[in-house]
Structure formats: structure tokens, C-alpha cells
Amino acid sequence: MELRGHRIPMFVSLLVWFALWEVFGRLEVVSLIPPFSEVVAALAVVVPSESFVEATTVTLQAFAIGMTMSLTVGIGLGMLMGRSPAVASVMGMWVNIFESSPLTAVVPALMALLGFGLPTMVVTVFLFSVWVIALDTQVGVERVNPSLVEMGRSFGASNRVLYSTIVIRAALPELLAGIRLGLIRGLKGVVIGQLLIAVVGVGYLFELYSRNFLMPEFWALLIILFAFAFLASEAVAYFERKVSFYASSR
Amino acid sequence: MTDIPRTTSKAGNPVDKTGEPAVRVHNLTKEFPGGVRALDGVSFDVPRGELTSIIGPSGCGKTTTLKIIAGLVEATGGEVEVDGTPVHAPGPERAFVFQDFALMPWATVLRNAAFGLELRGVSRQEREAIARDYIAKVNLAGFEDAYPHQLSGGMRQRVGLARALAVDADILLMDEPFASVDEQIRRKFQEDLLRLLSDEDKTVIFVTHSIEEAVYVSDQVVILTRGPSRVSKVVRPGVDRDADSEHIRRSPTYLDWVERIWDELQDYLEK
Ligand SMILES: Nc1ncnc2c1ncn2[C@@H]1O[C@H](COP(=O)(O)OP(=O)(O)O)[C@@H](O)[C@H]1O
Ligand SMILES: [Mg+2]
């Protein structure tokens, strides 16, 4: 943001928004929105509470397992689709359908199948994130300069070395974009899954806070989630910026 | 092999008949999926220790021929023999220099130049020492830690050349290495290449579409034609390379050969 030619640091604009929030909250126009100061106070109460620690542990565990699965499967599938037109034509349509379908609708069926625990959450994370990772990996691999691959082969690289040192590395700009989007979708997946299950993790806390009308706590939890999603995607974006210079010079 | 106009060859340049040819290309055909016929029976021999150019109009199959020799593309028919043995895959006795350089944009000049050795499992210390040596030989000393996008096209191709020289292959395969370089720099490159090769005992196959370049650098020129893609002639210009380059480029032998190859290509273009 700029004002009269001066760049305003992000924290200043955040402060302005928090101030507006505070004023709006104190006016008590909408009971759903408490003043920002109350939310901050709630943060201090929520974070150390046993229910929060427990919910976070369950959530992060499901998220980590689900993401590991979708990174493995997504990158592998994307590389196959990128290198083999046959695989791309067999799998491409399905991956695209799943990527753009409202997978939330599948979660109740998963619950019926897998129960109300960890497996449902893990599969939800996986289903939400794997497709975009596969598609972006495919695009990255397709954009790898064919003569880089020929160069590797001409100097005697085995297929394994070719993929691990040249293809993956050259596809990194798109691959990282896919991972960043996948992380955000996976996080959405775990929270949506938990909201639908309503008896575990962060979803349970949301349910609990909103049912009992604990709005400051509700917003505190939301802010923590936002911050986590933001930090995770910024971490990947940091590496993306480091490799972006060669997206144009391959 | 097609006819060699030995009677018209002026300067000495005797054909080395002691050894086998380093590479023997026999009746190569190549049909790409979709029915594109890129080669229609291409045959020629590449004498050991010499520089052989392949010249012809664009699309006549020069790159395809070179990649089949490199083992990067499978021929539909015919055979390539290296040192008397048929080849179907890349091997350590051949190194390729790519038209578009094929440098890894995320790696420094040093790592790129050492990459052939890295793929062959040479230890880091050893391969970097060898690569530094060749980086200096191609006049890039001081640029070891630069990245390809910081270099000009000509400098990038020198990295590609250093990488190919570093693996110490007997046969260098170069696909229009100077195609994307300005004319003035291009001449300097041709001279540098000849000087570099004079200390290395290499057999070189050099693809170009420039007649002047072919006559200037080659011991032997293979002229390819299009539709059908065949060898129309193999000639040995025999330009005296001991003279300085300005002198060579104005010598009657040189100009004569440029004219002759031009006529040869012209004939086919008019048919
Ligand atoms: N991978 C490919 N698939 C289909 N056709 C190709 C392929 N590579 C080259 N060709 C065709 O083969 C012919 C010869 O190509 P190439 O060897 O690159 O010619 P040159 O290097 O002499 O310009 C051209 O008509 C080209 O379009
Ligand atoms: Mg070509």
C-alpha cells in the first residue's frame, strides 16, 4: 500500500484494520463481532488451554499425514503425467474433474466409511490437496527444456538420476506453486472435515465456541488458523521467489 | 561414401587410411511418429582425428542424424558404428554440444561445466579441478561462480563446450554450436575452437548451416539435401589452416570451396 508516494509497512496497515475492528466491535452493531481487544484477550486464554492443545495436536497430525501422502502421490502422478502422454490422457481427465469438484460433499460418505477419527481427516486432507499438486507438477515437468533431459542422457544419467537431479529441479517453479496451493487446500480440508465430523480437533472447538456464543474465542481461533495458513504459504513462496528467475530462462 | 572429388582437392591433406573411421553412418532412415520422413538412407564415414561438418538446408535432418549418432534418437533403419561397434545409446566416448546450450539455470558455470563428470561419479574435488581447467581454456576464467542467465549467448556456449571437453570423450558432436552468436564473435569462436581442438586429439562432427563456417573449420564436409534427405556429396576442402584467419578467408581455395558447396546446394534447391 502507498500513501503520497511513501510505502506503508504491512504492520501499519494491519494496525489500521485492527483499530477499525475495535471501534466497530465497541459499537456493538453485530453481536457476532466483539471488539478486537477482547479477541486478543481470548487468544491468551485459548492458546494455553488443554482443549486447544489437544485440538491442535489432532489437527496437525491429520494435516501432516495427509499432506505427506498427497505430496508423494501428487508429485509422482504429476511427473508421470508430464513425461508420458499415455498416462496424461488416461489420468488427466479424472485429475481435472476431482481438482474442480466440490469435494466437501464426499466427506460425509468418508465418515460413513472410515468413522469419526483420524482416517477420515487424513483422507479429506489428501483429497483436497493432491489434485492441484499433481496438475502443477505436470505443467512444470512439461515445461522442462527437452534438451536438458537429452543433455543428462547424453552424459549417461540413469532414469533415476535424470528425474531426481534434472527434471524435478527444472520443474520446481510450478511444483512449488502446486505445493503452496495444496497446503492451503489441505488445511481447508482438515478444518472442513472436522466441522462436518464436529467431535474432533479444531472443528470441534469452532462448533463449541459458536454454539455457546463465545465470539472472542471463536475469532481468536480463526486468527490462529489464518496466521498458520499465511505462514505456511509464505514459507513456500519464499522458495518460489528463489527459483522464479529460471522459470523464464529455461 | 559418396564421391570425393580428390582430383580437385588442392592442398595436401591426405586421408588417414591407417585406422578405421571413428564413426561409420550406414544407410540411416528415420521416420517420426506421424509419418514425417526425416532421413532417407544417409551414409558417410567420419575419419578419426578430423573435423567433419554436416551441412544442408534447414529441415534436411542434420540434427536428427547427429542425435542418432549420439544415441539420443533411435533410427528407424540403418546403423551407426563407433569404433567398429554398433551403438544405440549414449556412451562415454561421445559428448554432445547442444544448439541451445542445455545449461542448468540453477547451477553455476563451474557446476555446469563439471556436470558430465558429476553424472559419471567423479569426486567433487577432482571434477571441479578439471572443470576449472577447461573453463580457463574456453576463456571463461573468473566466471566460475556466475549463473547462465548472467552470461551472453556466446559465453553460455563456451560453458557447453567446456562441459563436453571435460568428460574427455574421443568424439565431440556439435549441433550448430555458434548459430545464436553474432557474426563477428562467431568468427572468433571458430578460430578458438580450432585452436582448442589442435591440442586435443578429437574426432568432431559439426552441424552447421553456414557454408563459410563449414569450409573454414572442416577437414571434410558432408552435404545433405532435403526431400529425400540423403547425402548428396562428401567433399574435403583442404584449406591450409597454418595461415592466419584473414588470409585463409581471402584465399582462392577457401572462396572456391564456398562457391562449390553453394552450387551443390543450389542444384538441389532448384529441383
Ligand atoms: N521429434 C520430432 N517429431 C517429428 N518430426 C520431427 C522431430 N524432430 C525433427 N522432425 C522433423 O524432421 C525433419 C528434420 O529435422 P532436423 O533433423 O531437426 O533438421 P535440421 O537440423 O537439418 O534443421 C524436419 O522436417 C523436422 O520437422
Ligand atoms: Mg537442427
Q: Tell me: the pLDDT tens digits for A206-236?
A: 988 988 888 899 999 999 989 999 999 999 9
Which of B60, B64, B98, B206 has the most ligand 1 atoms within 8 A of CB, as the residue to mutate?
A: B64
With a pLDDT cut of 90, the percent of chain A lying above it is 48
pLDDT of residue B153: 87
pLDDT of residue A67: 96
**Which of 3.90.550.10, 1.10.3720.10, 3.30.70.3270, 2.120.10.30 is the CATH number of A42-249?**
1.10.3720.10
Instruction: Establish whether this prediction's ipTM goes over 0.90.
Output: no
pLDDT digits (tens, 9 = 90+) for A162-213: 999 999 999 999 999 999 999 999 999 998 888 888 788 888 899 889 888 8
pLDDT of residue B189: 87
DSSP chain B: -----GGG--S------SSPPSEEEEEEEEEETTTEEEEEEEEEEE-TTSEEEEE-STTSSHHHHHHHHHTSS--SEEEEEETTEE--S--TTEEEE-TT----TTS-HHHHHHHHHHHTT--HHHHHHHHHHHHHHTT-TT-TT--GGGS-HHHHHHHHHHHHHHTT-SEEEEESTTTTS-HHHHHHHHHHHHHHHHHS--EEEEEES-HHHHHHH-SEEEEEETTTTEEEEEE-----TTS-HHHHHHSHHHHHHHHHHHHHHHHHHH-
Sequence ranges of the domains in chain B: 1-93+170-271, 103-168
Sequence ranges of the domains in chain A: 1-33, 42-249
pLDDT of residue B268: 66
Contacting residues of B for A240, CB less than 8 Å apart: none
pLDDT of residue B4: 39
A129 to chain B, minimum CA–CA distance in Å?
28
pLDDT of residue B127: 97
pLDDT of residue B17: 40
pLDDT of residue B8: 35
**Which of 3.40.50.720, 3.40.50.300, 1.20.140.10, 2.60.120.10 is the CATH number of B1-93+170-271?**
3.40.50.300
Contacting residues of B for A172, CB less than 8 Å apart: 106
pLDDT of residue B271: 53
Q: Is B167 on the interface with A (CB under 8 A)?
A: yes
pLDDT of residue A2: 65
- Identify the segments of chain B with pLDDT beneath 50: 1-17
pLDDT digits (tens, 9 = 90+) for B84-115: 999 999 999 999 999 999 999 999 999 999 99
User: Does position A248 have pLDDT exceeding 70, yes or no?
Assistant: no
B118 to chain A, minimum CA–CA distance in Å?
9
